[in-house]
């Protein structure tokens, strides 16, 4: 995947022809990956197949596939089907998602998400897949923030995909997981040098995440306080989560992740037109990141 990829949850809002055009542009620019989310939109495996079929080199990764959405055998079947068809170009990111999506929307028990993940990975390792096997063994990353899930990422998976976090967390993740595990954090960015505009766009992009306990707990471990959550997030919190400014200032934040131990950084561009693919921003950033 190289050292830089794109995280683009907004691709679900594009008609499929436009989604294919967007990933073709990302591939032509030289980005190593495109990461897809799973919530209440497209099925990530079907969507990955559509996007992989439209491209030749770029890796499609799930950031993340919800383990409560399908049983372990089905997850393995989806993973290995794509890995066989597109060798080395599909990466499975798994996560426990969030209580409102699991218990609220899907009506599953979310009382012990860590234990559920441990059991799920054990069952994946034993799952039968009796179709043609992939020639390149596919990897698995976990959406990990806290120490227990980070340790599990290193011992029972191939690494971690932390989301909504900071270079300081990247350093903690690398220390916790050791040198061998793949570490691919996500980084939100806004290409604006006006502080008010940049933080306004950043707060709109952060809003959905600030009320989720998984992220709240992780940011509390990093030293943020109750007051940092008021009014859409304090300037301190916004500036820590979202890199904004010139392309060079954003590149400097990405470099902080790499210096802290990241192997691959998933760049998520936030704009004030979230229904349109940020192609101009991808092009601008490609000049300094790739």
pLDDT one-digit tens code per residue, 202-256:
999 999 999 899 999 999 999 999 899 888 999 999 999 999 999 999 999 999 9
What digits encode the pLDDT tens for the residues 20-72? 999 999 999 999 999 999 999 999 999 999 999 999 999 999 999 999 999 99
Note the Cα 241 to chain centre separation in Å.
14
Q: What percent of the chain has pLDDT over 90?
A: 92
Instruction: Look at residue 11 and tell me whether its pLDDT is greater than 90.
Output: yes
Closest CA to 35 of 1, 64, 3: 64
Shortest CA distance to 7 belongs to which of 54, 46, 63?
63
In angstroms, rounded to a whole number, what is the distance separating the alpha carbons of residues 197 and 11?
24
Q: Which domains does the chain have, with CATH numbers?
A: 4-289 (3.20.20.30)
- Token reading at 259: 């210096």
């Amino acid at each position: 995947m190289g050292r830089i990829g794109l995280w683009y949850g907004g691709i679900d809002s594009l008609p499929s022809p436009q989604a294919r055009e967007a990933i073709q542009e990302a591939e032509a620019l030289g980005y190593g990956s495109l990461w897809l989310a799973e919530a209440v939109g497209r099925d990530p495996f079907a969507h990955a197949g559509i996007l992989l079929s439209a491209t030749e080199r770029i890796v499609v990764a799930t950031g993340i596939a919800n383990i409560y959405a399908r049983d372990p055998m089905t997850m393995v079947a989806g993973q290995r089907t794509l890995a066989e068809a597109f060798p080395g170009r599909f990466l499975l990111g798994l996560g426990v998602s969030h209580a409102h999506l699991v218990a609220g929307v899907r009506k599953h028990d979310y009382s012990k998400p860590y234990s559920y993940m441990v059991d799920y990975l054990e069952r994946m390792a034993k799952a039968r897949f009796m179709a043609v096997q992939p020639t390149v063994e596919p990897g698995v990353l976990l959406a990990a923030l806290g120490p227990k899930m980070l340790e599990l990422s290193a011992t029972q998976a191939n690494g971690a995909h932390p989301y909504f976090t900071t270079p300081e967390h990247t350093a903690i993740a690398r220390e916790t997981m050791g040198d061998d595990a793949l570490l691919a954090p996500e980084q939100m960015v806004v290409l604006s040098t006006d502080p008010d505009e940049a933080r306004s766009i950043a707060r709109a992009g952060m809003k959905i995440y600030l009320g989720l306990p998984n992220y709240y707990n992780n940011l509390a471990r990093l030293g943020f306080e109750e007051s940092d959550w008021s009014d859409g997030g304090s300037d301190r919190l916004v500036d820590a989560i979202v890199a904004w400014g010139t392309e060079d200032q954003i590149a400097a934040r990405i470099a902080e992740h790499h210096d802290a131990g990241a192997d691959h950084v998933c760049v998520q561009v936030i704009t004030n037109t979230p229904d349109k693919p940020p192609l101009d921003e991808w092009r601008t950033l490609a000049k300094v990141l790739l």
